[in-house]
Amino acid sequence: MGLHAGTLAIAALFATALQAVAMLYVWYGQFRTRAVFEIFLGSAATAVGVALAFARPHLDPLITHPIANMLITGGQAYIAFGIGRFIDRRVTVSFVLGVPLAVGAAISYYLYIDVRLDIRIVVYSLGIAASSGLIAALLLGTSRGRIRITHWPVGVLYLLQALLAVLRAVWVMNEHPSTDLFETNRLQVMWFSQAILFVNLTFLGLTMMITQRPRLELDRQVSFDLLTGALNRAGFERAAEAEWSRATRHDLPLSVLMLGLDRIKAMNRTSGTEAGDAWLKAFADMTRGLLRREDLLCRYRGGDFLILLPQTTFEQALQAAERIRRATEGLSLAGEYGQIGTTVSIGVAAKTADRMDLKAVIGAADRALHHAKAAGRNRVESEGH
């Protein structure tokens, strides 16, 4: 075989050490946040653990086996902790401590009591799979628009790492019990080869994820309402004009809903602006869940929202509006003075031959909303189709 497992393992050691140094530079030179520092500490712990594992002929087995493997798996768990903080997803301290402690205890048992290298490899591999799988779940579960662009590639890498770690554990247990950690066989060569590639690619991915965050957050603030996560008017106008052009060019239906929360100002006076803000956010989240991916939700003004429905007929828009109206009736939040709830009035309008631009359709939906409020609120109205 052209590749030697031991040589590849040494290369993986250098790659791990370089990742830790580079992550220190990212933290110290550019982004001094707690989350980035935690990712650096996890990388550093992993690098130290790998170095100790390669010092087996020269150090006590307690250091080169249980402690080294605890540092590696604990370092990866701490990277998961840092990434969780970075993306505002909580990773428990019990996970960060539990993974390396469980790995250390199991490896100690199979080192001093029941000597089994194959099971030690399995334990280590499953420890890596646990942390890598958690990181993959955190990053692939990201749903915040363009931020996903930098999260998902790293998440896919960690998912592949987790799957390969599980494959290695199954392979060692069921088919090829090992007697030498650096035995040159197909899976060991694959394992150490992917370690080199993985370390380099994840560093690039993590660096991009960290360094691109400020720009993406700025873009988000420019286009989105910070309270509700819906598009603001400027962001809506940019996206909606593109949809209008496509609908006009291909003669596709397009509809607009104008939604006005009933008595939202009264809610702010009686329950406080914090309760009102919480209700606006809950309403936006609920409405977003009732829409398709291509639909555009905009916080238009105060308690009014605007929805653009591409490729949606007038009749379909009426049905969508009624679903939102009924769902709003069942939405309530616990407040200081009990349950807080309200209703929504909705105006519906669609693209027609008489409405030659998007502003005309929005104006028609806005007038229909005023009709709905004047007719008693909590209803859906439309302007002539």
Contacts within 8 Å (CB) and 24+ apart, 109-114: 111/61, 111/65, 111/66
pLDDT at 6 over 60: no
Q: Has residue 235 got a pLDDT over 70? A: yes
10 pLDDT exceeds 90? no
Burial class (CB in 10 A: 0-12, 13-18, 19+), 107: buried
Least confident of 37-46, 122-131, 205-214, 233-242: 205-214
- How far apart are the C-alpha atoms of 153 and 140, rounded to whole Å? 9
Task: Output the average pLDDT for the chain.
Answer: 84
**For 41-53, what is the mean pLDDT?**
88
What pLDDT, on the 0 to 100 scale, is given for residue 27? Answer: 79
Separation between Cα atoms, residue 325 and residue 2, nearest integer Å: 67
CATH fold of 233-382: Alpha-Beta Plaits (3.30.70)
Straight-line distance from the first to the last Cα atom of the chain, in angstroms, rounded to the nearest whole number: 74
Place of tokens 């060991």: 188
CB-based contact 121:112 (threshold 8 Å): no
- Degrees, nearest 5: CA angle 68-69-74: 105
Residues 6+ apart with CB under 8 A from 343: 261, 262, 325, 328, 329, 377, 378
Q: Are 189 and 1 in contact (CB under 8 A)?
A: yes
Average of per-residue pLDDT across 217-242: 82
User: Looking at residues 328-335, what average pLDDT do you find?
Assistant: 80
Interior/surface letters 162-181, b for 16+ CB within 10 angstroms, e for the rest: bebbbebbebbeeeeebeeb
pLDDT > 90 fraction of the chain, expressed in percent and rounded: 44
Q: What is the distance between the alpha carbons of residues 226 and 221, in angstroms, rounded to a whole number?
A: 7
What are 80-104's pLDDT values in tens digits?
A: 999 999 888 899 999 999 999 999 9
Q: Are strands 332-335 and 338-341 parallel, antiparallel or unpaired?
A: antiparallel
* Dihedral class, residue 302 (left if φ above 0, else alpha if ψ from -120 to 50, else beta): left
Residue 65: enclosing H or E segment and its boundaries? Answer: none
Q: What are the residue ranges spanned by the domains of the chain?
A: 5-223, 233-382
Residue 299's pLDDT band (boundaries 50, 70, 90)? very high
Residue 226: both structure tokens together: 């910070």
For 154-170, the pLDDT digits (tens) are 899 899 989 989 988 88
pLDDT for 358 equals 92
Residue 306 main-chain phi, psi, to 5 deg: -125, 135
Lowest average pLDDT, out of 3-7, 167-171, 230-234, goes to 3-7
Kindly indicate the confidence band of residue 354, based on its pLDDT and cuts at 50, 70 and 90.
confident
Instruction: State the pLDDT confidence band at 267, using cuts at 50, 70 and 90.
Output: confident
Tell me the pTM.
Answer: 0.61
How much is the pLDDT for 335? 60
Choose from 51-55, 189-193, 328-332, 366-370 the range with maximum mean pLDDT.
Answer: 366-370
| Averaged pLDDT for residues 273-289 | 87
Tokens of 246: 């496509």
Token duo for residue 29: 């030179």
* Structure-model confidence comparison of residues 141 and 4, the more confident one: 141
Which amino acid type is present at position 379?
A: R
Q: What is the pLDDT of residue 1?
A: 44
Say if residue 10 is exposed, middle or buried (CB neighbours under 10 Å; 0-12, 13-18, 19+): middle
Question: Is the CB of residue 38 less than 8 Å from the CB of residue 82?
Answer: yes
- Whole-angstrom Cα distance, residue 61 to residue 69? 11
Residue 332, helix vs strand vs coil: strand
What is the token pair recorded at 304? 């009014």
| Highest mean pLDDT (candidates 205-214, 313-322, 324-333, 335-344) | 313-322
Helix and strand numbers (H, E) in the chain are 13, 7
Percent of the chain with pLDDT over 70: 85
Cα–Cα distance, 198 to 26 (Å, whole number) = 19
Q: Which two tokens stand for residue 68?
A: 């080294």
Q: Which two tokens stand for residue 144?
A: 């915040």
